[in-house]
A and B are shown apart, each in its own frame.
Chain A
Amino acid sequence: MIASDVIVIGSGFGGAFAAERLTAAGARVTLLERGPWRDTPSVRAAGVGPRSPLPRGFGFFGRALRSLNLPLLPGGRLRLNAHGLFDLHLGREISVVCSSGVGGGSHVYSAMNVRPAVPDYWRERADGIDTAMMDAHYDAAITRMGARIPDASVPNFIGTRLQQNPLLRPPSVESQPAMGFRFESSTFTDNSFFGCHDGSKVTLDSLLLLPALARGLQVHDLHEVALVGPVRDGWCVTAYDHRAKVYRHLTASRVVLAAGTLNTLRLLFASRDAGALGAVPALGLGVGGNGDVPAYWRCNTADADYSRGTPCHGRFGLRDIAPGSEDDVDLTAYGLNGIDGVPMPEALRRALKRDLILVGMGADQANGLATWTGGRLRLHYSRTANFVLARIYRAFDRIAARSARPVYFLRHWPLTVHPLGGARVGDDPQQAVLDGYGQVHGVSGLYVADAAALPAAPGAPPSMTVAAWASHVAAGIAAQG
């Protein structure tokens, strides 16, 4: 039994920001992460171990996938490798890809550190939050990430690379997303979806957690939490230690759930089912996918090597769509950065380097529902009731038609890397799970600090929104002493 003031579950943008802030405030914090420490240059230099390599080379396929979640599987889940990088949740109405490892999604995200596309996102959401307060948290988080807008010197930066494309309209440099990226030292290779091998991408393990270790933060990697419940002196967290292959029970006066939306919802549902939380009538409401639509554009640009550059090449629009009009959706382009580490025939690799991944994103209605049946989480999400998806589909159709090059995407099967909601913030316990300080309504000492808490889709990459929310939750806990 390990006793702490606060147990933080998860080490992504919610968990890492919350744990770092609470540690800085003097709390004894234990952080549990289901994945391993990743073998990145800074973690290696700090001597933290054991570490697990990012997927690359001959071990790529074995290390890429952690688990496969399918309704048809016995138990709903097939765990392939506890050290794997990605979890794949395939559902009938929406599918989700998420990652694991100390540092969470920061290893695999596109490094875009931006505010919500929705103006006044936090306005009148709940008592205890206001726009000015959250703006300060955004400022602090973006500054902490060292985020800045790329310039024309960056390989394949969309502001210059696609300037001459008659189809595309890159916004001005100023409106490109800021990125948490070490531009000066980067090789501009191997820094995207499969993790960053050269330390170019600013990841949370090196930025927040390693320094916090020196101030007393306890990090237990490969600890997968299965249950959270009240005990005599606070809360008990039951976690499976994948390394020692034993269950551990850790206690603390407070628990912060930041395990990623799906895992946070699983823990809340499991704990509610065990009678640990009360009714929590709003649990599962307001699920969304942040309007994500990933696509593959077989643009086959001669002489291009789009695999070089920052994790995201930047934002663009379509020239024949008026800026600010309904069909002016947020589109970003990516090369297959990291493809040099994936084993494949050389001819195929050369071909893939000439193509682009496109991602459309926008504020969907976040009107889905998460349910829990027989220990399985199911997401219900209507493609047609989330209008932004159709606008993005139209944009991709236009690109395909005008360029005479195919754009492949899943038109009938939403796929997101940004699941959110289900334990959203609000004052009414019938409609919201959390109060304005991130605490579960009517349940003292249990908090949610990840995207499950978001009251609506930000319509832009949500990493800084989650970081700002986690900072707000942590500040509230720290203020209570």
Chain B
Amino acid sequence: MHMDLGAAPGVPTVLYTQRQHELDTLFSSLPTPARSLEGCWRGRLMAIRGFGWLPRVFARMLYALLGTPLNPWSGKSFANGTGANRWFGVRGAAFGRFRVVEQAMSPVDQQPVVWLDYDVPENPRLLRHIRGEARQLGNGLILARMNWKTQRGLYRVLYFTLVPG
């Protein structure tokens, strides 16, 4: 079932100025999406690991830049329990596929989450280390986190938002 989206929400700019550890707290408190994720969603990156030293004003500028077509990653699409990253447009090339688990428990904060598992045969070996988590920030606004799985555990890589594309 699709979410009842209405007009696509705006992404609050305050998200772009937050560090990863600050967004961790917000992310842990969010509910899972009220409806299954389906269709194309436009993405915006933020709180990238390694950039926490940037002054907030520059971080905001960086993430604003990454929200322009200069960044080839445009978002994600979802269909029937699977999904793919979209490049060069929200309906552009699909690369980096994942399986969607809707009733999962986050190994990071032990709270319910929609789990995006990149360990699927279509992906190159490197991408299979990615584990995504998604929760609902508002009606039609998803806050998600990309983790990197190693033998020692999960490492948070970045956050991103998704709005209907």
Contact = CB atoms under 8 A, between A and B. Distances in A.
A453 interface: no
Given A226-B12, A249-B25, A275 B138 contact: yes
B30 interface: yes
Contacts of B111: 232
A442 interface: no
A240 B13 CA distance: 13
A227 B30 CA distance: 14
B140 A232 contact: no
Given A226-B12, A227-B12, A274-B10, A249 B139 contact: no
B18 A274 contact: no
Given A236-B29, A276-B139, A247 B22 contact: yes
Contacts of B13: 375
A94 B112 CA distance: 47
Given A227-B14, A232-B31, A275 B140 contact: yes
B141 interface: yes
A232 B29 contact: yes
A240 B17 CA distance: 10
A232 B139 CA distance: 13
Given A231-B31, A375-B13, A275 B22 contact: no
B28 A1 contact: yes
Interface centre among B6, B18, B111, by most chain A C-beta atoms within 10 angstroms, is B18
Given A227-B14, A274-B12, A375-B13, 16 more contacts: A227-B12, A231-B31, A236-B26, A236-B30, A247-B17, A247-B19, A247-B22, A248-B25, A249-B29, A251-B29, A270-B12, A274-B137, A274-B138, A275-B137, A276-B137, A375-B10
B66 interface: no
A239 to B, nearest CB: 10
A393 B33 CA distance: 55
A127 interface: no
Contacts of A279: 6
Given A227-B14, A247-B18, A275 B9 contact: yes
Contacts of A226: 12, 14
A278 B25 CA distance: 24
A238 interface: yes
Contacts of B18: 247
30 contacts: A1-B29, A226-B14, A229-B138, A230-B138, A232-B112, A236-B29, A236-B30, A238-B14, A238-B26, A247-B14, A247-B17, A247-B18, A247-B19, A247-B22, A248-B22, A248-B25, A249-B22, A249-B26, A271-B138, A273-B10, A274-B11, A274-B12, A274-B137, A275-B137, A275-B138, A275-B140, A276-B138, A276-B139, A278-B139, A279-B6
A232 B112 CA distance: 10
**When A and B form their complex, which 10 residue pairs have the shortest distance between CB atoms, in order from nearest?**
A275-B138, A275-B9, A275-B139, A226-B14, A231-B29, A273-B10, A274-B138, A247-B22, A276-B138, A249-B25
Nearest to B17: A247
A13 to B, nearest CB: 27
Contacts of B12: 226-227, 270, 273-274
A368 B139 CA distance: 29
Interface string A239-283: 010000011110100000000000000000011011110110000
A69 B38 CA distance: 41
B30 A231 contact: yes
A276 B31 CA distance: 12
Contacts of A251: 29
Interface centre among A227, A248, A249, A278, by most chain B C-beta atoms within 10 angstroms, is A249
B104 to A, nearest CB: 15
Interface in A304-347: none
Interface string B105-145: 00000011000000000000000000000000111110000
A229 B137 contact: yes
B62 to A, nearest CB: 16
A287 to B, nearest CB: 22
Interface centre among B11, B30, B140, by most chain A C-beta atoms within 10 angstroms, is B30
A232 B30 CA distance: 5
Interface centre among B11, B26, B141, by most chain A C-beta atoms within 10 angstroms, is B26
A274 B136 CA distance: 10
Nearest to B161: A274
Nearest to A235: B29
A1 B140 CA distance: 25
Contacts of B31: 230-232
B147 to A, nearest CB: 20
A80 to B, nearest CB: 15
Interface centre among B6, B12, B13, B139, by most chain A C-beta atoms within 10 angstroms, is B12
B115 to A, nearest CB: 17
A233 B9 CA distance: 22
B54 to A, nearest CB: 14
Contacts of A240: 14
A446 to B, nearest CB: 13
Contacts of A230: 31, 138
Contacts of A275: 9, 137-141
Contacts of B26: 236, 238, 249
Nearest to B25: A249
A246 B12 CA distance: 17
Contacts of A271: 138
Contacts of B28: 1
A231 B29 CA distance: 6
B9 A274 contact: yes
A271 to B, nearest CB: 8
A238 B138 CA distance: 14
Contacts of B139: 275-276, 278
A274 B139 CA distance: 7
A160 to B, nearest CB: 53
Nearest to A225: B14
A1 to B, nearest CB: 5
